[in-house]
Amino acid sequence: MNAPTCLQVWVEGIGLLAPGLPDWPRAAAVLTGQTPYEAAPTVLPAPELLPAAERRRASRIIKAALAAGLQACRHAGRDPALLASVFASSGGDGHNCHAICEQLAAGDRQISPTRFHNSVHNAASGYWSIATGATAASQALSAYDASFAAGLLEAITQVAATGQPLLLVAADCEYPQPLHATRPIADTGALALVLTPQRTPASLGRLALPCRGALADGAPTPLAAGLPAPLRGLAQTMPPMRGLPLLAALARLPQEDTVALEWFAPQALHVQVRCA
């Protein structure tokens, strides 16, 4: 039997929360030029599924990750409790990191338990499990500005290896000053995809990752030049929004395309976007 030439998954649900883009339907209309983009700070919804105590402790990045993940699961018609997951973030909770640094630089170095457990990189994954009751395997990873692409690569590989659907969530939040001057993330945002190993009636499109040559030299695919500069700027100032060119290609289906996602220069991750 010939070895497969590519790994394939189907996109069944999409979730998005970003400045001026509160959900996937409105983002799709903006990315295809049907609706003008109106820049606005990210509006973070209350983490509806968390118990009251955890809801009070939830940070900005956790609220964004949960919101986008739930959007994607509802779009797909999937029970989030049954999905394995991959959570990707370039730096985790920027505000919590800032607060801990301030406290360590001051006289009182007694870090609160809430600060500490929100500081770990898999905090969003843990809150997701609490909120949804999900007990399937969950991975948390970081690859700086390549975090979305690294998460997608991990997610596609897991779906292909296990034959089971999976939720990918990429999320990040801004740092206050002075850290913001060194790592200028513009705002809080998250992007989520429900991926399946086979086509289903809910499939929106197909992603194919070549087994050879997926990582190749080349610049990342920019958003279309016809889209407003503030929207194109999101992909340069918010790590999860490095995935916007992929979402734009999905929104343009049945027109098929190949998208190069931010990796480590001089390489990019080349993903083929095909009809379901």
| pLDDT at res. 156 | 98
Q: Please state, in angstroms and rounded to a whole number, the distance separating the CA atoms of residues 252 and 32.
A: 7
| pLDDT at res. 104 | 86
Q: What is the pTM of this model?
A: 0.94
Going residue by residue through the chain (276 aa), what tens digit of pLDDT does each one get? Answer: 466 799 999 999 999 999 999 999 999 999 999 999 999 999 999 888 888 888 888 889 999 999 999 999 999 999 999 999 999 999 988 888 888 888 888 877 788 777 777 778 888 999 999 999 999 999 999 999 999 999 999 999 999 999 999 999 999 999 999 999 999 999 999 999 999 999 999 999 999 999 999 999 999 999 988 888 999 999 889 999 999 999 999 999 999 999 999 999 999 999 999 998
Alpha carbon 1 to its chain centroid, in Å, reads 36
Region 11-202: CATH code: 3.40.47.10
| pLDDT at res. 2 | 63
| pLDDT at res. 28 | 97
Q: Is 41 exposed, middle or buried (0-12, 13-18, 19+ CB in 10 A)?
A: exposed
| pLDDT at res. 6 | 92
| pLDDT at res. 225 | 81
| pLDDT at res. 228 | 87
Residues 6 or more apart from 267 whose CB is under 8 A from it? 215, 216, 217, 218
Q: How many CB atoms lie within 10 A of CB 49?
A: 16
Residues 6 or more apart from 259 whose CB is under 8 A from it? 221, 245, 246, 249, 270, 271, 273
What are the structural domain ranges in the chain? 11-202
Write the Ramachandran bin of 189: left for phi over 0, alpha for psi from -120 to 50, otherwise beta. Answer: beta
